[in-house]
Structure 1
Amino acid sequence: MTEHGIKWACEYCTYENWPSAIKCTMCRAQRPSGAIITEEPFNSSAPNVGTIERSGGSPLICPDSSARPRVKTSFSMENSSKWSCHMCTYLNWPRAIRCTQCLSQRRTRSPTESPQSSGSGIRSVPSPVDPCEEYNDRNKLNIKGQLWTCSACTYENGAKAKKCVVCDHPSPNNIDSIELADTDEASSIINEQDRARWRSGCSSGNGQRRSPPMSKRDSEMDFQRIELAGAVGSKDELELDLKKLKQIKNRMRKTDWLFLNACVGVVEGDLSAVEAYKTSGGDIARQLSADEVRLLNRPSAFDVGYTLVHLSIRFQRQDMLAILLTEVSQHAAKCIPAMVCPELTEQIRREIAASMHQRKGDFACYFLTDLVTFTLPADIEDLPPAVQEKLFDEVLDRDVQKELEEESPIINWSLELGTRLDSRLYALWNRTAGDCLLDSVLQATWGIYDKDSVLRKALHDSLHDCSHWFYSRWKEWESWYSQSFGLHFSLREEQWQEDWAFILSLASQPGASLEQTHIFVLAHILRRPIIVYGVKYYKSFRGETLGYTRFQGVYLPLLWEQSFCWKSPIALGYTRGHFSALVAMENDGYDNRGAGANLNTDDDVTVTFLPLVDSERKLLHIHFLSAQELGNEDQQEKLLREWLDCCVTEGGVLVAMQKSSRRRNHPLVTQMVEKWLDGYRQIRPCTALSDGEEDEDDEDE
């Protein structure tokens, strides 16, 4: 015998159940004794394929899932008799005893109340309502006290569910002790309807996999570049893979998404993503886990155990290395001469732009007409010790100084040079805006930053106008370098051209990281050698060696005539993706003591001895030498003596002499330094007064 469509309505969720049902199919509530019975005739001989002929002649489509109720297509009668909630004005179905929206008790109509004004009054609705609205209304009746949250994927399951319906994780023994996930941090809950659509998408005939719905938090944070991993296999394998990926996503928090976004940003060159992760307090040493690599789904770019530093080195993101690995000391506010004197700084920038000229002829490279070398004034030593300490905290980069001096002996390793010859080098503080190389070059010469990109523009134009000259040197040097390190690779001309085009593009992008080739070009623009004292290896925070830096060495303006260039070099420091200017302090002309050579200088010239060997007494590399210039160490030393004023100290150290004169230095730079120093001179009387008062107090005691 088939049932004649007589159903009973659940008093909790108003779901219409079949007469044989003892409990509600939707909310599992016990069938009341006085349940409201409705009658819905249907054709008992209807086939089981899902189409049921109704008395009205229109077919009714049976849903595939038993959780979805059967809905009438003709609902004008019930729709016209909906009752309005007195609390939230929500229109409820006539058989509902509570408001579906706010769960308020349905009011009974008074005898004198008109049907139009009563809580259950008749209210005509001109437009039909979606038949699925009844199901959606009932679906909102899930009370959080009757749910338990899965500890693996945070899905909220029914109270009687023994396993999570999404990941099959077993329910805890004590459901009352389970805390509900925070709505701001938890992922979006997938209801039964979404699960049905998700699974139907997985089992559809076209074979395309549909991802589960993304949470609102994910969409707000704009992680569009992070894609779910694909899966290949049977239907069960696809569904299992989707469940695993869903579990991984649901466990992710905001800092996890920021980390993955930063990883993708390193690969795609998005500096803002890396800055966002670091400014949020993210751990720079964090490693990619297997689940995160699976979620990123790019095996060619991401490996398990990789950090942002590994990725930056792998994809040659020098600007990102500077942000990730350079920790600037924040114990004191930085105060360099260029910050104190903005008017003089602007005049100096205009002076630099006016002194920039382009050489006529085949080698049309830009060059500066003035020889300027920045040094710290000797008057600093006349300040009280406390004021000197404050000055050095504000003008120096203590972290860079420590790394180049203590962590690895790169500068000031010779007591003879640092103490007896007063050639100690100081690392000036430099901003980390991606232009640290250009800034450090101007700091070592004029004491300012390349804020207006004058030097960057000259760099780009020189590379573009003299591309053939620099390209030949670069290609020959890179070929020799690869052979000397046993790489033994050869590139096609198209590949060389592509790499060279990339180098040209870096020079034109403000904030882009620069390479050894750009330092070589800058040596030609300055018309003087550049000596880079830098770390030899990239290292992580745990001290692990990640790769070679290749920056340390001497860069000579080899494409100019020697008579057109100056022999006084400048010094730069390189520490893990960051350049700093290395300057000396004026020594008031110590008459070349102990250098073993006659310098022929007057008392106003400061001579700084820059070592051309490392702490192991090995000669520094000379970059971008041609095949004719390459040779043994004696030949390279001879080349250094031709391009620099060299001498050997009494201790046997080969050094280059950097000469600077206060009288010959640019007057604007001298004024800027004096005005900057006056600010510290004004601190001296206060300090002396406080010291005198302390002495008087001591005498009184």
Structure 2
Amino acid sequence: MSEEAQHEASKQSAPLAAEPTAAQAATVTHTDASTAVSQTHLPQMTASSVPTADGGKWCCEVCTYENFPLSRKCTMCRASRAGDEPPRPQDGARALPPPAAPAPLEPARVTSPGAEGVTERLKPLRISSPPAASASNVLKWPCPTCTYENWPKSLKCAMCGAPAPPVPRPAGASEVTSGSNSVCELEAGGRRTKRRNNPDLLWLQACLGVVEGCGRPVEAYLAAGGDPARALTPAEVARLNRASAFDAGYTLVHLAIRFQRQDILATLLARISGGGPGLKRSPSYIAPDLAAAIRRHMAGCIRHKKGNFPARYINEFTTFSLPAEIEELPAAIQEQLFSELLDREAQQTLEAEPPLINWSLELTVRLGSRLYALWNRSAGDCLLDAVSQAAYGVFDRLGALRAALGDTLAHAARAFYPRWSAWERLDAALLHYAPEDTQLRAEWARLLHAAATPGAPLHQLHVFALAHVMRRPIIVYGVNIVNSFRGEALGYARFQGIYLPLLWDVEFCSKSPLCLGYTRGHFSALVPMEPYSHTHTYICREQQAESSEITFLPLTDADGKLLPVHFLTCDEVGPAEGMEAAESVVRRWLAVCVTRGGLLAARQTLHARPLLVAQMLEEWLNHYRRLAQQTRGPFPPRLQATEFSSDPDTDDE
């Protein structure tokens, strides 16, 4: 048959082949729409190269699959039908160059007409699209600490919170990272891991805080239970990215010494030696509003003395003591109370051999005058906080005593300097040394500056000046040798002794002393527990004398030697009189008595508490009373006063 005859026969059979079913029509329509975009990306072929199968189907040149005559693309491989030209671009449009032809695909193996029908229905619905980025194709960064794979934009590891490793910089880029930027990055990461309270993050922030001179990250690290003796590792030094500041093996103490951060160093040393781990809950923390009112009251009681001795002083006398109701609590609750209130490490240091406090059974047992070391802050003002606690039971957060101390030494320097310089010359003479006037003047200027600087370490002169501010003697029981946290001897401490307000008139001062304890670089308030028979209601000043109780403080050490009396002149202590002259001065300024066992002691008067202090202690006790009720039931049995009597039991009792 000729070519013209074949062409005429195909025209007659076209109407019969162009009547597909409804499903096939939808398939063809969807196929035409989906292939309109990609038919320009296939190679152009001529009609003479396309083999035609029986029944009017055309055979695909790529995969040899037989397609229906109306299909413009192969159902299997999506190749265009031979002889179909790509659409021409519109006017003004730019024709795209045809890309390279795709690799030939293997022919599909259709085993049955049913399978071929399913293939024809499903294949056109799979519209081809460019490969998109999936989760498996994203390049994640592994954490150097825990090897967890994180998303590329994550700045911290989602598992352990470690920062992302630094991105490699191109050659010649600067690799210097400022400390302030590092702190900001760590703080930003800290907000994301706030719920986790990551100790490693707090540790790195504390190291940067020491270098930058910021103590808040250090306090946050210690408050979270961080170890102040933790040392930097090489990986942490590389992460901090400041080789000039950090070295492997350095602790916070080493960094504070290296960068001369005295306030942070005092905080770290006090935390290592005093306070100890665990939660501390003083009365001022339980009732902060009442504690703030007590501080304002104490600041309002400070007056200014005019005349030859222009010093600051407090116009009232108060002594803080622990309430006797503590003994009504269960033993377990009492143990929790003392662990949260006291400085156990300072207590053990002062009671260790040779003991400095509570060494006399006559005073502690028979006379009920045991001393307790209260926990104190370690922010550099521990001396002022200890004096404020011993008198009012609160910390000196407002700096009222610090301001009074600085003003007293500045305005009354003419009275303090001669006595202080004479005392310094006397101590130097014992060491066969005579200081020059220029040395004393320079040291005096340094002491004046320290008195007015918050957080600055204080000297014996400042304790002597505080005795004048409080208008009463101050007794300090302290160690003679200061040791490091490793047990190494750092030097001698001369704080122990009796400080008298010698520059005031005796009638203007109280003879009831305040008591402090001194351990390694830290002061603590030493307070007694009041007798159980003492009334706990507020009593006006006219009735205080009738409702006062007495505790006894030893004026000698365990060997019977009188405690040193500081800042006495040569006229007050003659070379021939020796101890007898110092004891006579002590008897003049203190209410001294001799016990039945022959112990020289000072009587400390416990007046009725001020109203604010009584309310603060009541709220503090209610906290532990609620804990006791939770442990033993809603209606705990009340303890009788006879259970605390020191006398033998009788039939009437």
Tell me if TM exceeds 0.5: yes
Change (3 A) 1:430 1:354: same
Q: CA deviation at 1:348?
A: 2.3
Query: Are the counterparts in 2 of residues 318 and 514 from structure 1 also a CA contact under 8 Å?
Result: no
Query: Are the counterparts in 2 of residues 447 and 669 from structure 1 also a CA contact under 8 Å?
Result: yes
Provide the residue aligned with 1:500 in structure 2. 444
- Aligned partner of residue 633 in structure 2, secondary structure: helix
Provide the residue aligned with 1:425 in structure 2. 371
Matches of 1:692 and 1:682 in 2, distance apart? 10
Provide the residue aligned with 1:624 in structure 2. 567
Matches of 1:270 and 1:485 in 2, distance apart? 41
Provide the residue aligned with 1:537 in structure 2. 481
User: For residues 317-332 of structure 1, what are the structure 2 equivalents within 5 Å?
Assistant: 317=262, 320-326=265-271, 327-332=274-279
Provide the residue aligned with 2:334 in structure 1. 388
Q: CA deviation at 1:602?
A: 7.8
Q: Aligned AA for 2:266?
A: L
Provide the residue aligned with 1:552 in structure 2. 496
The structure with higher relative contact order (CA 8 Å, sep 6+) is 2
Gapped runs of 5+ residues in structure 2?
1-92, 98-161, 184-199, 233-242, 535-543, 638-653
Q: Aligned AA for 2:509?
A: C
Find 1:491's aligned residue among 409, 424, 436: 436
Deviation digits for residues 204-245 of structure 1 (CA, Å, limit 9, x no counterpart): xxxxxxxxx7643778558xxxxxxxxxxxxxxxxxxxxxxx
Provide the residue aligned with 1:109 in structure 2. none
Deviation digits for residues 34-92 of structure 1 (CA, Å, limit 9, x no counterpart): xxxxxxxxxxxxxxxxxxxxxxxxxxxxxxxxxxxxxxxxxxxxxxxxxxxxxxxxxxx
Change (3 A) 1:677 1:184: closer
Matches of 1:675 and 1:306 in 2, distance apart? 40
User: For residues 567-578 of structure 1, what are the structure 2 equivalents within 5 Å?
Assistant: 567-578=511-522
Provide the residue aligned with 1:413 in structure 2. 359
Matches of 2:382 and 2:348 in 1, distance apart? 19
Would you say 1:474 and 2:417 are equivalent positions? no
Matches of 2:628 and 2:172 in 1, distance apart? 77
Query: Are the counterparts in 2 of residues 188 and 216 from structure 1 also a CA contact under 8 Å?
Result: no
Find 2:346's aligned residue among 388, 393, 400: 400
Matches of 2:334 and 2:307 in 1, distance apart? 50
Provide the residue aligned with 1:643 in structure 2. 589
Query: Are the counterparts in 2 of residues 404 and 534 from structure 1 also a CA contact under 8 Å?
Result: yes
Q: CA deviation at 1:432?
A: 1.9
Q: TM-score, normalization: structure 1?
A: 0.55
Query: Are the counterparts in 1 of residues 228 and 251 from structure 2 also a CA contact under 8 Å?
Result: no
Matches of 1:610 and 1:669 in 2, distance apart? 23
Provide the residue aligned with 2:554 in structure 1. 611
Q: CA deviation at 1:418?
A: 1.2
Q: Aligned AA for 1:566?
A: S
Q: CA deviation at 1:335?
A: 3.6
Query: Are the counterparts in 2 of residues 312 and 321 from structure 1 also a CA contact under 8 Å?
Result: no
Change (3 A) 1:369 1:393: same
Matches of 1:522 and 1:682 in 2, distance apart? 39
Deviation digits for residues 486-510 of structure 1 (CA, Å, limit 9, x no counterpart): 4x252342x4333222222222222
Equivalences, count: 453
Q: CA deviation at 1:660?
A: 1.1
Deviation digits for residues 350-376 of structure 1 (CA, Å, limit 9, x no counterpart): 322332111120101111111111111
How big is the alpha-carbon RMSD for the aligned residues of Structure 1 and Structure 2?
4.6
Question: Is the helix fraction higher in 1 or 2?
Answer: 2
User: For residues 145-160 of structure 1, what are the structure 2 equivalents within 5 Å?
Assistant: none
Q: CA deviation at 1:607?
A: 1.3
Query: Are the counterparts in 1 of residues 202 and 217 from structure 2 also a CA contact under 8 Å?
Result: no
User: For residues 295-310 of structure 1, what are the structure 2 equivalents within 5 Å?
Assistant: 308=253
Q: CA deviation at 1:322?
A: 4.2
Q: CA deviation at 1:277?
A: 8.7
- Aligned partner of residue 464 in structure 1, secondary structure: helix
Matches of 2:564 and 2:390 in 1, distance apart? 21
Provide the residue aligned with 2:386 in structure 1. 440
Deviation digits for residues 377-402 of structure 1 (CA, Å, limit 9, x no counterpart): 11221222222222222222222222
614-623 vs 308-317, which deviates more?
Answer: 308-317
Query: Are the counterparts in 1 of residues 354 and 558 from structure 2 also a CA contact under 8 Å?
Result: no
- Aligned partner of residue 395 in structure 2, secondary structure: coil
Bigger radius of gyration among the two: 2
Q: TM-score, normalization: structure 2?
A: 0.59
Provide the residue aligned with 1:367 in structure 2. 313
Q: CA deviation at 1:550?
A: 1.9
Matches of 2:499 and 2:95 in 1, distance apart? 92
Q: CA deviation at 1:571?
A: 0.5
Change (3 A) 1:284 1:688: closer
Matches of 2:258 and 2:387 in 1, distance apart? 24
Fraction of identical pairs, as percent: 41
Gapped runs of 5+ residues in structure 1?
1-113, 119-182, 195-212, 223-252, 288-294, 298-303, 591-600, 694-701
User: For residues 199-214 of structure 1, what are the structure 2 equivalents within 5 Å?
Assistant: none
Q: CA deviation at 1:426?
A: 0.8
Deviation digits for residues 436-466 of structure 1 (CA, Å, limit 9, x no counterpart): 2111111111111212222221111111111
Q: CA deviation at 1:285?
A: 8.5
